[in-house]
Amino acid sequence: MGTRDVILDAAAEVIRSRGMANATTREIAKAAGYSEATLYKHFTGKVELLVEVLRERSPGLARLNRALAVLDDDLPTGLTAIATAAIAFYTEAFPMLASIFGDPSILAAHTAGLRQVGAGPHRVNEAVVDYLRLQQDRGAVRPDADLVAAAALLVGACFQHAFLGHMNGPARRPDPEAARSFATLVATALR
């Protein structure tokens, strides 16, 4: 395993256990067995590390990206796959990200860092809109449908489901029926 992979694995562990706001590059470098200078040879900082942890070490994000790429399913089936994957991703990512909201300066720095690397939570909504637009081109979504609102409805419901799952205790697992319900509601609104 290369240095970059070791650092990513350490970053994933530190950010998951301490939260993004409480993790430091020094702590991540130490957990990886390297100096901070070595960490900065591979990453510009903590925000880039988080983005790469989500991209490369998050099964939930990989599953969400796969769900968004499938157009062979009918609309309710495709939206159910997206909702199921989004709930899994938010359930996984929420503990890592929640800590940044406690301090406005940390949130501002994190938001600015995400912009610099072309990432952010809005990207999920944009990807769902792109998926819906392709479904619209195939005739599965009516031409006058508000795709932005539909994506916000689906993604927002998935995020809230994950959030409530954490609020009700860590042992609560995502409910697959919820994803199906959210997808059915959105598919019905789009036809």
pLDDT in tens, 100-134: 787 787 788 778 877 877 777 888 999 999 999 99
The owner of tokens 């650092």 is 7
Residues 91 and 157 in one domain: yes
Range of the domain at 33: 1-57
Q: Domain with 17 in it: what CATH number? A: 1.10.10.60
Q: Which amino acid, residue 180?
A: R
Residues 170 and 104 in one domain: yes
Residues 146 and 75 in one domain: yes
Residues 68 and 137 in one domain: yes
Number of domains in the chain: 2
Residues 131 and 180 in one domain: yes
Q: Domain with 137 in it: what CATH number? A: 1.10.357.10
Residues making up the chain, counted from first to last: 191
Residues 48 and 141 in one domain: no
Residues 64 and 127 in one domain: yes
Residues 49 and 68 in one domain: no
> Residue 21: helix, strand or coil by DSSP?
coil
Answer yes or no: is pLDDT of 77 > 90: yes
Domain boundary among 35, 57, 79: 57
Q: Which two tokens stand for residue 180?
A: 């199906």
pLDDT tens-digit series, residues 3-17: 999 999 999 889 888
What percent of the chain shows pLDDT beyond 70?
Answer: 97
Residues 43 and 70 in one domain: no
Domain boundary among 10, 25, 57: 57
Domain boundary among 40, 57, 74: 57
Residues 12 and 75 in one domain: no
DSSP letter assigned to residue 174: P
CA distances from 32 to 13, 19, 57, 58 (A): 10, 17, 15, 18
Average pLDDT over residues 151-175: 84
Nearest partner of 6 among 37, 39, 50, judged by Cα: 39
Residues 70 and 49 in one domain: no
Residues 36 and 71 in one domain: no
Cβ atoms within 10 Å, residue 23: 22
